[in-house]
Structure 1
Amino acid sequence: MKHVIMGTAGHVDHGKTCLIKALTGTDTDRLKEEKQRGITIELGFARLSGSEDLEIGIVDVPGHEKFVRHMLAGASGIDMVLFVIAADEGMMPQTVEHLEILKMLHIEKGIIALTKIDLVEEEWLEMVKEDVRESTKGTFLENAELIEVSSQTGYQIDYLRARICEMAEACSLRREEEELLRIPVDRVFTIDGFGTVVTGTLTEGSIKTGEEIWIYPSERKVKVRNLQVHGKPVKQATAGQRTAVNLAGIKKVDVRRGEVLAAPFSMEKSRMLDVRVSMFDTAKRPLENGARLHLFYGSAEVLCKAVLLDADILQQGQSGFAQLRLEEDIAVKRGDRFILRFYSPLESIAGGVVLDPVAPKRKRFQETALDALKRKDEGSGKEVLEQILLEESQKFPQERLLARKWGGLRTEAAELLREMEELGTAYRIDKDVYLHRDFLRTVQTTAEQILEDYHEKNPVSGGMVREELRVRLKNGLHASDMRPMDALIAGMIDRGILKEAGNTVALSGFSIQYTEEQRQIRDAIEEIYQKAGVEIPESEEVIDGFKDKALARQMIERLCGEGVLVKLEYPNYMHSETIGWARQILKETIAEKGQITLAEYRDKIETSRKYAMMILEYFDREHITKKNGDARVLWE
C-alpha cells in the first residue's frame, strides 16, 4: 500500500480544521482549549482512504502566528499540501508566511482550497482568486488547481477529495529500507499498562515491533514494544504513515518532542551544521553575520548563531552558505530542510538545506571550504560522496561512517566507493576503509619526509624499524588510530615507494654508500667481534672505543643488517662466522650423543658458563634446539 502525508497550511480561522472534518469526518481539534477558543493550537491528525492501495495521512497545523512552531513541526515531512484560503478574507499574513515556509521545505505538490465560498459574492470572489494567483506566482503553487469549496454546504467537497487522491497517487514513493528509519517525535505521553508512547510521521524507512532502535541526539537505546497507525495495532509501519510507538525501557521524562527515532548508528549528534540559507522573498529584515536565531527542523526547535561564510549580510531573496552553531545537541541528515526565525521578535525569515550535519568549525571566506560546500550543494551523489571522503580521510573512515555523513544506504555508498576505486579516486586500505587519492598523496609525502630525514641522520642504517615508522607516520598525519598504518606502509611497499628488509623500511631508492671514515669504522668493529670469538664484549664497550659513538652504534646495527653480526640479545652481538662455528659444534655433539648439557657445551667451545648459556638460549629462540630436562636436543 502507498502511504502519503498531506499537510494543511493557511491563516488562522480560514477553515482548515472544518475542511478536514468535511473531507474525513474527523475533528482534528482534540484539546479542550481548542474547542473553547475555536482555533487549532496543536497538531491534529486524520486519515483519508483513497483506494485499497492508497492511504493519506493528514496533518492539520495551527494557523495562528503564535503557533508557527507547531505549524513547522507538522509541515516537515509532508508530501503535498492543502493550501487553505478563506474566500471572505483572501491572502493574509500567515498565508504568506506559510507559503514561504512550504517553499523552503521543498514541498512540490499542492492544491489551493478556497473555503467559505458560500459567504461571498461573485465579484469579490474573482478579486480574491486574482490576488491568490498573483501571490503564488513563481512558487510551486503557481499552476496549482484552485478549488472553491464550502465545508458548511458540502459544495465541491467530493470533488476536492477526489483531486487530493489523484495528486497523492502521483506522489513519489518514500524509501522504506529499515536502515533509513526516522520518526521526528511530535508528541510524548504515557498509557497505563503500556508506558511511554511517542508519535510522529515516519518520514523514511520502516519500523517493526520487537526491534531495537535509538533516540537521537541523546543516543538512548530503546525497544519497540507496540506500534499503532491511525489507532490500529500493526506489526510494522512504513514511510509515509503517522505512527505511534510504544517504547520499552524508557520513561516519559527521558524523551521529548523534537528528538528522533532512528536506526542504530544511522545518525550522529552535532552542534555545528554547514548549510545553504535562502532568505524569504518577503523577509522584512536582513540576516547579518552572527545573528542569533531559532532553528526549526523536523519537529524540533533550537537556538543557534548564524555565521555567514561567503557574505556579511543576506538580504530579501538572497542565498548563501553559512554555519549554524547550536546551543544544544541535535541530529539531522544531509539534505534535511529547515526554517530560521529571528530570536526576537519571532519572525520567519529564511529556510535552507543541511550540507554537512556534523561540520568542523569553519572560518569565513575560506575559498577551499566554500568550494567544498558548493560541491555538496550542487554535485551529484558520487561527487558529494567523494568530497566527504576527502574531508574524512584523516579519520580512516569505514563505509558505515561515509554512508551516514552522505545520508544514504551503506550498500549505495559502497557501490559508489567501488566505482571511485576503479577510477583511482578512492583507495581501499582495508576491507571497508577508504581514503581519497589526495590524502594518499599526503600519506606518501609524509612517509618520504620521515624516511629522508632518517636516512640523512642515519646514513649507514639500512632503514627505519617498521614500528618506529608506524608511530611517526601516525603522528605526522595527526591520525587518531594506529591500526591503518600497517596497511598504508604495506601499500607503499607494494607500489614501489618504499622497500623493506627484515623489520626495517627504507625509501626504495636508498642505498648505503660508505665514506672512507665509515668504512674504517665498519672494518674495525667487525675485527673486534672476529677476534673476540665467543667471549664477546657488550656493544657499549665497543662503542666507547670510537670518537663518533652515534656512528659506531649505527654501524653495529648495519653489520647486523648485512648478516656480518648476529644479535644474541641486546647488548650482545657475535660475529656470524663465530656463531656458525658454535652451531656446527652443537649439531655434531648432539648427533653423536643425542643431546647436550650446558656444561658439556661450555667445555666443547672452551668458554665460561655465561657465554655458553647466552649462545644456547639464542639457538632455542631460533628453533635450532629445545630443552629436554637439563639437556638440549635438536628442534624437530
Structure 2
Amino acid sequence: MLKRIILGTAGHIDHGKTSFIKALTGIDCDRLKEEKERGITIELGYAHLSLPSGVKVGIVDVPGHEKFVSKMVAGASGIDVVALIIAADEGIKPQTKEHLYICELLKIKYGIVVITKIDLVDDELLELQKEDIRDFLRGTFLENAPIVEVSSVTGVGIEKFKQVLDEISKEISIRSIDTPFRMPVDDVITIKGFGTVVRGTAISGKIRSGDEIVFLPDNIKGRIRGIQSHGVFVQEGYAGERLAINVPDFKKEDVRRGMVIVKDGFFHLTKYLLVDFFYLPYNDKPLKPRIVAQFHAMTMKTTAELYFLGVEKVLPGNKVFAMVKLEKAYAFSYRDPYVIRGFGIYTTMGGGVVLHPYLKEINRNKITVDYISRLNSGNLEEICSLIIKEQEADGLSINDVMGFLNISYDTSQKILIDLLKQNLLVEDKRTKRFFHKNVYDRLSQTLLDNLEKYHKNNPLKSGINKEELLVKAGGHENLFNLVIKDLSDKKIITVDGDIVKKYDFVPGGENSVFKPMEELLKKWGLQTEEPLKIAEMLNMEEKKVRDMLSTLVKNGSVIKIKDSYYLHKDIFESFKEKIITFFKTKEILTPQDVRDMFNISRKYMIPLLEYLDSIKITIRVPEGRRLRRQ
C-alpha cells in the first residue's frame, strides 16, 4: 500500500511557515482576505506534496499568533512529522516554545527543524542561531532532529528539505486501516455543484465513497458522495491522509470544526475521562488539586474540570493522574492525546493521553491511583477486562472494544477469546455482548436471593413474574436474560411462560396448604362448587382460595374450565378419556349422551363441552360434536 504521511508546521508568528509551504509545494495556504491583508495565518492552511520515493505528503499549515494557538492545536492533531519553523533573523520566540511543547504533548515523534529567512542574515549569525536552537531542543523529541536552512525567496534548501523528509518517512509506520475510522473535522466549505465538503486528517481506519457516516457529538448521519485526497477524487480514504469528504445531505452550518466523522456503532460519547497529565516545566506556579481549564483534543475544545489524584498540588515538571469532567460530551479512544490550556495567552499548561475513554461518572472514592496505573500499563487484555467490568450489566460488544482501544477486529476478537478462556468474561451469543464474570455472578446471586425472598413472602404463589424480577434485579435486560437462560439450563430455576421460580420450589411447602383443597375437588368430581363455597368449607377468605386455585392451575394440578368452575386434573383426565373412548363407536356426541354417561346437570355439561372444543378435542357441528382429527 502506498505510504501517506502528514506534515505540519509549527512556530512563531511571521517566521515564514506559510511562505515555506508555498516554496515547497507551490500552494498558497493563506486563503482568507484578512490573512492576505495582515500577512499572518489565522486559519489552518492545507497543501500536498509527492516525495521522490513516491510517498504522498499531506501538509497542514498552522497559525503562529498567540491568539490562535487553539487552532494550532487543532491542526497539529494527526500530524506524523512536524517542521518546526524558526526565522534566522529572530531565533527562538514565545510561540516557538509553546508549539514545541504542544507537539510533545500530542505525541508527535518525528520532526525537522527549518531555519527560514537565511537570506536576511550573515553566516556568523546563522551559526549562533543554530547553537541556540540545539540548546533549546536538548531533552525534547527534536534533540537529534535534522536542521535544514532555507530561503523561501531564493529556494535555497527546499530540495534538501524534501530529501530529509523522504528519509524520515521511511521510519514512519503506516497507520492501521483496520481500526475504526475517525476523521476530526478541521474545516467546512461549500463548493458550487457539490454542496458541503468537510476536510480533515483521517487518524484511523478507512472510508469509502457511498459509506454512511456519523458526525459526533451531534450524532447526525449522512452518506458520502465523493472523496478527494491530494486534490484527486478517490474511491477510498485511508488513515494518514488529508481528506475532503463531500456530504451533500448537510448544509454548511450543520457541521463544524471540532466534530469527528466516524462509522456508526464504534464510539460512545462521554463527559468523563481518566488521563495522565504532564505539567509543563516552564509554568511558574503549582496547581491546586482541582482546576478549570480549556481542554483540546483532536480538533475540539471545551471547558473542563480536572481533579488530580493522590497529590495535594502539582508542581511544574510533574506527571500525575487525573479525572476529567468535560462541559461537552465527545468520543475518545485509549491513548488519544490532549492539551490543557488556561484562559489567557501564553498559557499551554500541559497535557497527556486518555487512559479511560468512557467513564460513566466521576467518583473519586472508587477511582484509585492503582486502578489508573493498571490502565496505563498498556496491557490491552487487562485494560479490556477493567473497562468491561466497569460497564456492569451493560457489557460491551466487539465493536465497542475496537472503538475504545482503537484496535482492529482481529485483535479485539483475540483479546475477548483469551479473556473468555481465563473465565474473566461471559458472552451472550444472542446479543453478541460480553460481560465481566464478577458482574455476571453478582447478578445471578441477586436474582436467586430475590427469588428466595419472594417464595418466602408468597408461599402460595407458583413464582414471580419475570418483569417484576427484572426490576428487582436492577433492570438490566441484556444480562438478566442471559442469567435467566443459564440458570434455567442448569436446572437451578424454572421458567414457565412469564413465571420464574426456583427449580425445587413447591407452593405451600409440602403441599400441606393445598392438600385439603385438592381432596375436596376430587371428592366433588365433575360437580364442584364455586370458590366462595370452597372458602366457607375450608374456613378461608375467598381471595386466598382464588389465589390458591390460580397457583394449582399454573402447577397443572387443577384445570380451570371457566370462571369459578375448577376440576381436579385427575377428574378431568378421566372425563376426557371417556369422551375419546365414546368416539370409537359413535361419530356424534350429544348433550344427552354426556348426561347419560356422567349423570351431570346442564350447568356443568355445557362448560365441559365448550372446554373440550377450546382445547381441540372436539369440534361443534349442527348434530352435536365430532372428534377433531389430530
Question: Normalization by structure 1: what TM-score?
Answer: 0.89
What pairs with 1:475-624 in structure 2 (closer than 5 Å)?
Answer: 475-481=471-477, 485-498=480-493, 505-507=500-502, 519=512, 521-539=513-531, 541-543=533-535, 545-546=537-538, 556=549, 564-568=557-561, 571-598=564-591, 600-624=593-617
- Structure 1 contact 599–609 (Cα < 8 Å) conserved: no
CA pair 64-495 structure 1, distance change in 2 beyond 3 A: same
- Structure 2 contact 10–82 (Cα < 8 Å) conserved: yes
Give me the whole-angstrom Cα distance separating, in 2, the residues matched to 1:224 and 1:361. 35
- Structure 1 contact 57–241 (Cα < 8 Å) conserved: yes
CA pair 323-568 structure 1, distance change in 2 beyond 3 A: farther
CA deviations on 1:112-160 (whole Å, 9 max, x unpaired) are 2233345445554444334333332332212222333343444433222
**Percent identity of equivalent pairs:** 34
**Tell me, what secondary structure is at the counterpart of 1:591?**
coil
CA pair 401-627 structure 1, distance change in 2 beyond 3 A: farther
Give me the whole-angstrom Cα distance separating, in 2, the residues matched to 1:98 and 1:288. 25
The answer to whether residue 160 in structure 2 is matched with residue 173 in structure 1 is no
Residue 89 (structure 1) aligns with: 90
State the shift of 1:283 in Å.
Answer: 2.5
- Structure 1 contact 187–198 (Cα < 8 Å) conserved: yes
- Structure 1 contact 309–363 (Cα < 8 Å) conserved: no
Larger displacement relative to structure 2 (14-23 or 183-192): 14-23
State the shift of 1:326 in Å.
Answer: 2.9
Larger displacement relative to structure 2 (400-409 or 229-238): 400-409
- Structure 2 contact 214–262 (Cα < 8 Å) conserved: yes
Give me the whole-angstrom Cα distance separating, in 2, the residues matched to 1:235 and 1:563. 65
CA deviations on 1:546-590 (whole Å, 9 max, x unpaired) are 456698677656756776533445654322331122112211222
Give me the whole-angstrom Cα distance separating, in 2, the residues matched to 1:77 and 1:440. 39
Larger displacement relative to structure 2 (609-618 or 211-220): 609-618
State the shift of 1:597 in Å.
Answer: 3.9
**Tell me, what secondary structure is at the counterpart of 2:133?**
helix
Give me the whole-angstrom Cα distance separating, in 1, the residues matched to 2:188 and 2:506. 71
State the shift of 1:603 in Å.
Answer: 4.7
- Structure 1 contact 590–634 (Cα < 8 Å) conserved: no
Residue 199 (structure 1) aligns with: 199
- Structure 1 contact 54–169 (Cα < 8 Å) conserved: no
State the shift of 1:77 in Å.
Answer: 0.5
- Structure 1 contact 394–439 (Cα < 8 Å) conserved: yes
CA pair 539-374 structure 1, distance change in 2 beyond 3 A: farther
Give me the whole-angstrom Cα distance separating, in 1, the residues matched to 2:196 and 2:276. 37
Residue 428 (structure 1) aligns with: 427
What pairs with 1:388-399 in structure 2 (closer than 5 Å)?
Answer: 388-399=387-398
- Structure 1 contact 147–160 (Cα < 8 Å) conserved: yes
Larger displacement relative to structure 2 (549-558 or 41-50): 549-558
- Structure 2 contact 66–346 (Cα < 8 Å) conserved: no
CA pair 562-261 structure 1, distance change in 2 beyond 3 A: closer
Give me the whole-angstrom Cα distance separating, in 2, the residues matched to 1:540 and 1:315. 82
Larger displacement relative to structure 2 (27-36 or 424-433): 27-36
CA deviations on 1:472-527 (whole Å, 9 max, x unpaired) are 4422332343x653432120233454356898654456678957xx73x4442222
- Structure 1 contact 291–306 (Cα < 8 Å) conserved: yes
State the shift of 1:371 in Å.
Answer: 4.6
CA pair 511-326 structure 1, distance change in 2 beyond 3 A: same
State the shift of 1:284 in Å.
Answer: 3.5
The one-letter code of the counterpart of 1:269 is L
Question: Normalization by structure 2: what TM-score?
Answer: 0.90
Residue 316 (structure 1) aligns with: 316
CA pair 60-607 structure 1, distance change in 2 beyond 3 A: same
CA pair 509-591 structure 1, distance change in 2 beyond 3 A: closer
Larger displacement relative to structure 2 (114-123 or 162-171): 114-123
- Structure 1 contact 217–268 (Cα < 8 Å) conserved: no
Residue 30 (structure 1) aligns with: 31
CA deviations on 1:602-628 (whole Å, 9 max, x unpaired) are 553222334233333444454433445
Larger displacement relative to structure 2 (608-617 or 550-559): 550-559
The one-letter code of the counterpart of 2:568 is H
- Structure 2 contact 267–400 (Cα < 8 Å) conserved: no
Structure 2 portions without partners, runs of 5+: none
State the shift of 1:452 in Å.
Answer: 1.7
Residue 5 (structure 1) aligns with: 6
Give me the whole-angstrom Cα distance separating, in 2, the residues matched to 1:358 and 1:24. 41
Larger displacement relative to structure 2 (387-396 or 609-618): 609-618
Structure 1 portions without partners, runs of 5+: none
State the shift of 1:383 in Å.
Answer: 1.8
Give me the whole-angstrom Cα distance separating, in 1, the residues matched to 2:376 and 2:618. 68
CA pair 510-294 structure 1, distance change in 2 beyond 3 A: same
CA pair 574-484 structure 1, distance change in 2 beyond 3 A: farther
The answer to whether residue 630 in structure 2 is matched with residue 631 in structure 1 is no
CA deviations on 1:300-346 (whole Å, 9 max, x unpaired) are 22223334454454332223333333333433333321111112456
The one-letter code of the counterpart of 2:158 is I
Give me the whole-angstrom Cα distance separating, in 2, the residues matched to 1:25 and 1:398. 48
**Tell me, what secondary structure is at the counterpart of 1:173?**
coil
What pairs with 1:238-253 in structure 2 (closer than 5 Å)?
Answer: 238-253=238-253
Give me the whole-angstrom Cα distance separating, in 1, the residues matched to 2:101 and 2:239. 26
What pairs with 1:415-454 in structure 2 (closer than 5 Å)?
Answer: 415-431=414-430, 432-454=432-454
What pairs with 1:158-307 in structure 2 (closer than 5 Å)?
Answer: 158-177=159-178, 180-307=180-307
Give me the whole-angstrom Cα distance separating, in 2, the residues matched to 1:614 and 1:414. 60
The one-letter code of the counterpart of 2:558 is L
The one-letter code of the counterpart of 2:260 is V
CA pair 523-511 structure 1, distance change in 2 beyond 3 A: closer
- Structure 1 contact 393–434 (Cα < 8 Å) conserved: no
**Tell me, what secondary structure is at the counterpart of 2:170?**
helix
State the shift of 1:71 in Å.
Answer: 0.8
The answer to whether residue 70 in structure 2 is matched with residue 75 in structure 1 is no
- Structure 2 contact 508–514 (Cα < 8 Å) conserved: no
CA pair 64-599 structure 1, distance change in 2 beyond 3 A: farther
Give me the whole-angstrom Cα distance separating, in 1, the residues matched to 2:613 and 2:136. 91
- Structure 1 contact 217–260 (Cα < 8 Å) conserved: yes
State the shift of 1:76 in Å.
Answer: 0.4
CA deviations on 1:260-304 (whole Å, 9 max, x unpaired) are 222123333333333333222222444434433222222222223
CA pair 561-221 structure 1, distance change in 2 beyond 3 A: closer
Larger displacement relative to structure 2 (240-249 or 588-597): 588-597
State the shift of 1:528 in Å.
Answer: 1.1
Larger displacement relative to structure 2 (203-212 or 246-255): 203-212
Give me the whole-angstrom Cα distance separating, in 2, the residues matched to 1:128 and 1:632. 110
Larger displacement relative to structure 2 (97-106 or 319-328): 319-328
Give RMSD over aligned pairs. 3.0
Larger displacement relative to structure 2 (56-65 or 129-138): 129-138
CA deviations on 1:416-463 (whole Å, 9 max, x unpaired) are 2222222211111233122210011111111221122133234566x5
Count of paired positions: 626
**Tell me, what secondary structure is at the counterpart of 1:588?**
helix
Larger displacement relative to structure 2 (274-283 or 552-561): 552-561
CA pair 541-79 structure 1, distance change in 2 beyond 3 A: farther
Give me the whole-angstrom Cα distance separating, in 2, the residues matched to 1:98 and 1:602. 102
